[in-house]
Structure 1
């Protein structure tokens, strides 16, 4: 099975000021976000990528360009609209501190599967389109590059949380238990029997093991297995 690295974009000016940017055009990485994207790109650099796929929004495309720039090869690069930010409708461009006073806020926190953003999309529709796209792309990349292929999808916090919830077999109503920080990397493999979540919300640490990892057989190792083959001790 192929391996997908789910990367959230780096911090933006909207993130820093507590604004829900949504799909607003022109929201770019701030200085911190650019450094975060570069750090993530360096972490992934040791892993030859088959493809780097991005949400169409600028902050994700900036992050994707940083990742691609650190690659020695030339991974396939393209934009996927189905992993774009949620359509927050009338909530877009509003302060989170103000939105927290809305009755819908509590529903977003405790029962997101029932949420339809006013003038926007439902959280169920958001998850459905994102999961379908990731699973489809994963299958296409594996078919083209083999079961050991590694690829990156650069997207948004709620989108990645919803994809991870699906991979973990969690109901959407539980997805607020998952944290996805700016420029974090989560690792998912879609197997014959079930998805395998190898990591979530990592902001540091060695990823070179992904370049050497062999595709799992599909069965889970009873007892947990031997872990990654990389010896990081130096002796």
Structure 2
């Protein structure tokens, strides 16, 4: 089975604006986020990672860089690992969005919601899972480990898929910046090893 390391990007300053980032370009890691990325790179240095995939958004690529460097790997950018396409809601105030009638649907029945001029959560989940399943098929030798650096909601949607959780419950999961979620996955099913975990990663195998 393949061990997937699903890593959320580090902290960035846009979070402090109180607005929904979505796919806004130019959102870089702040000082804390850079430290989180370096900590991830150091903590995973001795883990035998075979490949690293990442969302092309800057905050994900900057988080993936120290991991790739420590393993001399090329980051494989995947557009389908990008954050949720929130359409007209991108860049809007969280406080104002929470006043919309659709907000209750987002929180309580996200499977029935589509962002205006954007995508639905089931569509987001499908594209993310497709990328991960391709990675599993490509790296399917025993003990193969693949790192994937992307975003909170897509990570939670992926976890929900692999453990059989209804999509409407995915927001019950936690996924902090700079965290790692580990899933064993293969033809026989999947097993959630760790969720929202911070360095050191003492449960991971080391290079021989």
* TM-score normalised according to structure 1 size: 0.84
Count matched residues.
208
Paired residue for 2:34? 34
Paired residue for 1:62? 62
Give the drift of 1:76.
4.2
Q: Using the alignment, how far apart are the partners of 2:57 and 2:206 within structure 1?
A: 29
SS of the residue 2:76 aligns to? strand
- Which residue of the other structure, out of 92, 109, 112, is the alignment partner of 1:111? 109
CA contact (8 A) 2:10 2:33 kept: yes
Give the drift of 1:48.
2.0
Q: CA RMSD in A?
A: 1.6
- Which residue of the other structure, out of 157, 161, 164, is the alignment partner of 1:162? 157
SS of the residue 1:209 aligns to? coil
Paired residue for 2:196? 201
SS of the residue 1:62 aligns to? helix
Query: 5+ unaligned residues in a row in structure 2: which ranges?
Result: none
Determine if the alignment matches structure 1 residue 183 to structure 2 residue 181.
no
Deviation string, structure 1 residues 121-155 (Cα, Å, up to 9, x no partner): 1111000110111111121122xxx2211110001
CA contact (8 A) 2:68 2:74 kept: no
SS of the residue 1:36 aligns to? helix
Q: Using the alignment, how far apart are the partners of 1:151 and 1:207 within structure 2?
A: 17
Greater CA radius of gyration, 1 or 2?
Answer: 1
What are the equivalent positions in structure 2 for 1:77-226 lying under 5 Å apart?
A: 77-142=75-140, 146-207=141-202, 209-211=204-206
Give the drift of 1:19.
1.9
CA 1:16–1:39: 2 relative to 1, 3 Å = farther
* TM-score normalised according to structure 2 size: 0.94
